[in-house]
């Protein structure tokens, strides 16, 4: 009998030890889980802090844009055009930059009615040719059909009603660059940056740096700003035969930004005829890009705004938040 009792208590001891070991394991597991939860919580908290910081950086940049004292002239030497960087005491660093839409050619210009010397179609065709695209006519025709209200054309609904994922052109101004990539002939390849290797190459332009998609339906095309537009953009807007005039415009604005178009048109009467109606000295639409980073995480803001040319008030057209 005593032997059996000893065996039982031995068994009880083993069970108790197993329970202790299990309990210890559970405690360790719970501890690890709590630490993981705390880490996830901290990471979520940081994400939210970065989201707020990026939005604040974008808003501050827009304040500076609204405070611009000269609304009749916009150039790259103005306060709003300078990228801003901050390194805050809490370890968050932010960066924000404002760019005017006038320094680019807007794809949606093609959807606006036109009463200028050179229409949006001609300008886009020349720009794309200048950027080495010799198939531009097909792409511009397809984009025109994609955005115009009617259903008459080669690249309308029937054209896209093929394959496993048929879709239809929206027949309106586009809202996002991703929509542009659905147009026949457009692909990410078209927008790959092209560093200029030969400065004299007449077809060495960079379409990725010369165009933009302003997410806004337009009554008239957004004018190109002669004070901020790049050489490629000015070449596109003035036509491929105006290389000398474009070079002189760029040299002259280095000395002093154009305050009126009259001063430029007097200096270059030959370009006045082609640029009339397509260019301006100020911009009304701007893009702000902002970024906040800390501990290897970052959050971004991309917003399009319209600035009232009389009051300077800034109105948001599109506000996108993201990561990376």
With CB under 5 A as the contact rule, the residue among 86, 93, 114, 171 that binds Ca ion is 171
With CB under 5 A as the contact rule, the residue among 53, 58, 74, 207 that binds Ca ion is 74
Residues 126-165 that bind Ca ion (CB under 5 A): 145, 148
Cβ-based nearer residue to Ca ion, 227 or 242:
227
Mark the segment that binds Ca ion (CB under 5 A) among 22-30, 167-175, 262-270, 315-323. Answer: 167-175
308 lies in the binding site for Ca ion (CB under 5 A): no
Q: Spell out where the chain has E strands.
A: 84-87, 93-100, 105-106, 211-212, 224-225, 279-280, 285-294, 297-307, 314-323
Separation CA 93–CA 290 (nearest Å) = 11
Cβ-based nearer residue to Ca ion, 129 or 284:
284
The size of the interface with Ca ion (CB under 5 A), counted in residues, is 6
Separation CA 300–CA 302 (nearest Å) = 7
Cβ-based nearer residue to Ca ion, 87 or 311:
311
Q: Give Cα separations from 71 to 46, 64, 84 (angstroms).
A: 38, 12, 21
Cβ-based nearer residue to Ca ion, 60 or 141:
141
Residue 280 Cβ vs Ca ion, minimum distance, rounded to whole Å: 12
Structural contact between residues 314 and 306, judged by C-beta atoms closer than 8 angstroms: yes
Separation CA 215–CA 277 (nearest Å) = 22
Mark the segment that binds Ca ion (CB under 5 A) among 63-71, 193-201, 241-249, 295-303. Answer: 63-71
Residue ranges binding Ca ion (CB under 5 A): 68, 70, 74, 145, 148, 171
């Amino acid at each position: 009998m005593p032997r059996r009792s000893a065996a039982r208590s031995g068994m009880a001891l083993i069970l108790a030890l197993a329970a202790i070991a299990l309990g210890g394991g559970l405690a360790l597991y719970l501890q690890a889980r709590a630490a993981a939860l705390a880490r996830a919580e901290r990471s979520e908290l940081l994400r939210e802090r970065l989201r707020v910081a990026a939005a604040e950086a974008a808003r501050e940049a827009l304040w500076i844009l609204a405070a611009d004292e000269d609304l009749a002239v916009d150039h790259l030497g103005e306060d709003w055009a300078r990228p801003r960087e901050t390194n805050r005491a809490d370890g968050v660093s932010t960066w924000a930059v404002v760019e005017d839409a006038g320094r680019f050619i807007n794809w949606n210009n093609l959807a606006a009615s036109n009463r200028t010397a050179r229409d949006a179609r001609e300008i886009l065709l020349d720009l794309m040719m200048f950027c080495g695209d010799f198939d531009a006519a097909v792409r511009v025709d397809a984009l025109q059909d994609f955005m115009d209200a009617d259903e008459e054309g080669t690249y309308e609904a029937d054209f896209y009603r093929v394959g496993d994922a048929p879709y239809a052109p929206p027949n309106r101004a586009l809202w996002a660059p991703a929509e542009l990539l659905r147009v026949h002939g457009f692909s990410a390849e078209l927008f790959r940056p092209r560093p200029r290797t030969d400065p004299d190459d007449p077809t060495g332009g960079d379409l990725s740096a010369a165009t933009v998609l302003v997410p806004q339906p337009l009554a008239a095309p957004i004018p190109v700003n002669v004070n901020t537009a790049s050489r490629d953009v000015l070449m596109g807007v003035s036509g491929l035969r105006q290389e000398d005039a474009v070079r002189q415009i760029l040299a002259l604005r280095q000395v002093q930004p154009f305050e009126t178009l009259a001063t430029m048109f007097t200096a270059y009467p030959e370009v006045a005829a082609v640029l009339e109606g397509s260019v301006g000295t100020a911009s009304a639409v701007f893009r702000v890009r902002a970024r906040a980073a800390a501990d290897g995480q970052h959050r971004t803001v991309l917003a399009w705004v319209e600035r009232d040319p009389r009051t300077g008030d800034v109105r948001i057209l599109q506000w996108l938040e993201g990561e990376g």
